[in-house]
Each structure stands twice: as structure tokens, then as C-alpha cells.
Amino acid sequence: MSGFFEGTALDYYDAGSVDLQSRWDAVADWWNARLEAGIDPYQKITSDRISPLVKGSYRDGTVFSGLNFASQEYLSLASHPEIVEAAIYAARHYGCHSAGSATLMGNTDLSVQLERRLAEYLGYKDCLVFPIGWAAGYGAVKTLVRKHDHVVIDALAHACLQEGAADATPNVHRFPHLSTDGVERRLRAIRATDTRCGILVVTETLFSMDSDTPDVRPLVRLCREYDATLLVDAAHDLGVYGAGGRGILEEQGILNEVDVIVGSFSKTFASTGGFVVTNSRGFRFGLRGGCGPSTFTNAMTPVQSAVVLAALDIVESPEGDERRARVLRNADMLRSGLAEAGFKVIGRASPIVPVLLGDAHIARLMTKFSIEMGGIVNLVEHPAVSANRCRWRLQVMADHRERQIVEFVEIARRSRERALEEASILSTANDRVAS
């Protein structure tokens, strides 16, 4: 059993097999063995509304329930009565399907209204919406950049941005996380040999694995100095920070100075989908006519559009102010409680609370015991993060109560105790077998 506590799924991938599908058979065996051992916390299924209390099951049908710190529902809007009514109205009036690409006839009154509203909300001339957030990030990068261009990207930027860059050009330069100096060195080196290429600098406002933030103003200055374009992903902070929820760019006072902003509705705005905002008069046509994730897929549904519009109404209202205050207050309380209990919590106060657990063995046991005790969490392992930097990515909601946070901290403490005890017993047993 101890082998299931080490390594990653890709350690079992059979690259030598001629049959492309069977290369994954040993991976499936490893995942199923983890499930039988009770240490596979992935592909969980919920059976009720997403709220601070959740009911669900693992993929083998084993049920769980408890305090939910595993869902991206920062302002607790997904079941808000006004949001639900907006979805019902859209379904009754428009039906449930856009029935076409946004390039052809997949747009609806609602999606066009949403684009105009978001552009005005963020202070930009234009906005385009996508049916999923990944498509917005990937599509924006892939559409902007050509083979001869360069991408300078934070090493920890989201996978959709990394993959968009890698698919667009071989000239991808990753800079150390949050390093403004790293950006400048790469820009200087590129311009020393090529004064005519396009350069896209890519970062995020709030990084989801570390809950940290770059200083974006120096990046704006560097991009102007070196004739580069700055793209920022605001998926995790929009709606949560700044005046009217306009995010960290508003907080830093540079909202309209970034060239391109991409983001997702799935964290704060109660829906799947994403967006790209720009001041360019031409980029819209590139995204609609030359961007695979927009041109060759169906457009955002009317239900999605209606939900995001209703969520934006709340985000901009006094109720939105109150919900932002609550979620950040809850995040502070959770961070403080975990730190006092001896956990290493990293990053800034945000709805994301990363808790470093260390090696995979302890992390997997802690996650098993936490969920059994009623603390529903997500485990992040290598290769999503560095080896021996496994963590819980806890996610806080506005509707969490103080008593629930206190209760979860105690669950976390007890799960750590049990994990250390079991790991010690297993290590002793293995030593006896080896001797």
C-alpha cells in the first residue's frame, strides 16, 4: 500500500506502448488503487447546492458531507434568489442553448448586453465573452501571438495561458514568479536582437495556488518602454477587491492601463464562461474570426449571460460591498486560525487560502482524514505544484460562519495528528519488512 503514497500518475504512464489508449492503463490502476485505499480525493461529486455545507460522493459512490472549503463560490451567489430567477427567465424566454458560434448567429441579446456592460464596468472600449474561462485565456494569447513573436510569462501563470503561449510560438520566456526584474531582463534581451517582433507579457492579478499578487504598474511601464503588450488574467480577484469589485487592478489604480484583461465568471459571478476586454478596434475581429475557442465552438448560452448580468448587478451594489467584506473577513479568520494551530499559510488575504502540507504521503493522509471528519478540502499535488510542496487550496465563501471556520481549523489540526500517527506506524511496519 505504501507505494500509493508516493509518486504521481505520470510515473505510471507507459510511453512505450504502441496502443495510444493503453498507455494509460497502469495510470488507471494506480488511481483505482488510491481510491480503494481511501486516498484519492479527486473527481468528487456534489448532490446539492454549493454552499458552506455540502453533500457529495467519491467516484465509487462513497458518500461524504461536511464543511465546504473546496468550491469556488467566493461571494456565495450561485443560489442567490435573484441569480436563480435570472436563469429561469432566460431559459423560458430564450431557451437553454445559443445554437451557434458567436462568429455566426450564436450571440443573443443577453450576451451582447453582457459584453457592453463588462466593457463599461471595467472602463474599456470592447469586450468579448466566451462559453468557458479557459477558452478566453488560451484564445486571447493564441490569437495575439504568431510564430515569430515572443511571450514573456510568469512561471506560475495558469495552464490556459501557458498552453496558449506554447501553441502560438517557440519563443516562450518564463520569468521567476512575480519578478519584475526577470521581465525586464527578458525584454531587454529580446529587443537587443529583434526590434520588430511582437512581445506579449503575461501575468495574473491573483495567483490561485499561492494567493499572491504582482505589482502591475512597473510591468505597464516596461511594456511601454519595450513596445510590448501586457495581458493580465483577473480570474480570481474580479468581484472581490476594489471599488465596486473591479479587482486588484482597480486596487492598484491601473485598471485602464493594462492592454488586455482576460478572466473567468466561475469564481465570483456564479457561472461558467470567460471574457476578454481590450481598447483595440481590431482585436475583436481576430477573436471572433481567427480564434478557435470562439470561432469554432458554440457561444455562451443565454442562461450563462443572464446569470452573469444578475451577478454583476449584485457585485456593483451595496450588497456586493457587504459580501466582499464578509469573504475577506472570513479569509482573515481562517488564515489566523490555521497559523495559530501551527500550519504554514502563504499569500495575501483572499478567498484562496493555500496551506502547505509538504510531502505527498502526509498530504494524502491528511486529506483523507479531513474529509472523513467533515472538512471538505481540495488537495493539490505535484506536478500541479513543486514536489514536496503539496497543499490544500482552501476556498472561502461570504456565507461561511465564524463557528464553521473555528470547527474546520480543529478538523485540520486533528487530521494532521492522525496522518502523522498513521505515517509513523506505516514507516515502522515497512522498516520491519525491510529488515
Q: pLDDT by residue (tens digit) across 277-324?
A: 999 999 999 999 999 999 999 999 999 999 999 999 999 999 999 999
Q: How far apart are CA 345 and CA 332, in angstroms?
A: 11
230 and 370 in a single domain? The answer is no
Residues 104 and 220 in one domain: yes
CA angle 49–51–57, rounded 5-degree value = 60
97 part of a folded domain? yes
**Cα–Cα nearest to 424, from 362, 367, 379:** 362
**From CA 6, how far away is CA 166, in angstroms rounded?**
30
Query: Are residues 327 and 308 both part of a single domain?
Result: no
Over the range 15-26, which residues count as b (16 or more CB within 10 Å of their CB) and which as e? eeeeeeeeebee
Domain limits for position 284: 81-315
Task: Using the 3D structure, point to which of 265, 288, 315 is the last residue of a domain.
Answer: 315
Asked if 297 and 339 sit in the same domain, the reply is: no
Q: Domain tally for the chain?
A: 2
The answer to whether residue 4 sits within a structural domain is no
Q: Are residues 236 and 276 in the same domain?
A: yes
What pairing do the DSSP bridges indicate for beta strands 352-358 and 53-57? unpaired
Residue 232: phi and psi, rounded to 5, are -125, 135
203 by DSSP, 3-state: which? Answer: strand
Closest to 165 (Cα-Cα) out of 214, 183, 157 = 157
Note down pLDDT in tens along the chain; length 435 residues: 455 677 888 899 999 999 999 999 999 999 999 999 999 999 999 999 999 999 999 999 999 999 999 999 999 999 999 999 999 999 999 999 999 999 999 999 999 999 999 999 999 999 999 999 999 999 999 999 999 999 999 999 999 999 999 999 999 999 999 999 999 999 999 999 999 999 999 999 999 999 999 999 999 999 999 999 999 999 999 999 998 999 999 999 999 999 999 999 999 999 999 999 999 999 999 999 999 999 999 999 999 999 999 999 999 999 999 999 999 999 999 999 999 999 999 999 999 999 999 889 999 999 999 999 999 999 999 888 888 899 999 999 999 999 999 999 999 999 999 999 998 876 654 545 344
| Whether residues 307 and 398 fall in one domain | no
Question: Are both 242 and 216 inside the same structural domain?
Answer: yes
Please tell me whether residues 288 and 392 are part of one structural domain.
Answer: no
Last residue of a domain, one of 266, 288, 315: 315
Q: Return the pLDDT at 427.
A: 60
| Residue type, position 149, single letter | D
H or E element at residue 264: strand 260-264
Look at residues 158, 133, 176, 72 and name the one whose alpha carbon lies nearest to residue 393. 72
Report the CATH number that the domain containing residue 132 is assigned in CATH. 3.40.640.10
Kindly provide the b/e burial profile for residues 208-239, where b requires at least 16 CB atoms within 10 angstroms of the residue's own CB: bbbbbbbebeebbebbeebebbbbbbbbbbbb
- Per-residue pLDDT tens for 205-227? 999 999 999 999 999 999 999 99
Distance in angstroms (rounded) separating the CA atoms of residues 225 and 387: 37
Q: Is the peptide bond before 383 cis (omega within 30 degrees of 0)?
A: yes
* DSSP assignment string, 15-72: TT-SSTTGGGHHHHHHHHHHHHTT----S-EE-S--SSEEEEE-TTS-EEEEEE-SS-
Whether residue 109 is found in the same domain as residue 130: yes
Which of 289, 315, 341 corresponds to the end of one domain? 315
Torsion 378-328-240-248 (CA) sign? negative
3-state secondary structure of 294: helix
Q: Which residues pair with 28 in a beta bridge?
A: none
Handedness of CA 338, 339, 340, 343 (dihedral sign): positive
Question: Is 52 within a domain?
Answer: yes
Q: Which of 257, 155, 164 is nearest to 216 (CA)?
A: 257
CA distance 172 to 178: 17
Cα distances (Å, whole numbers) of residue 276 to 138, 215, 287: 11, 21, 9
Distance, C-alpha 112 to centroid of its chain = 25
Q: What is the DSSP string of 100-156?
A: SBTTTT---HHHHHHHHHHHHHHT-SEEEEESSHHHHHHHHHHHH--TTSEEEEETT
Give the distance, in angstroms, between the CA of residue 125 and the centroid of all CA atoms in the same chain: 26
pTM for this entry: 0.94
What per-residue confidence (pLDDT) applies to 424? Answer: 80
Residue 225 CA neighbour count, 13 Å, CB half: 13
**Beta pairing partners, 151:** 172, 200
- Asked if 201 and 61 sit in the same domain, the reply is no
The verdict on 377 and 298 lying in the same domain is no
What confidence score (pLDDT) does residue 258 get?
A: 98
Say which CATH number the domain at 396 has. Answer: 3.90.1150.10
- Provide the greatest CA pair distance for the chain: 73
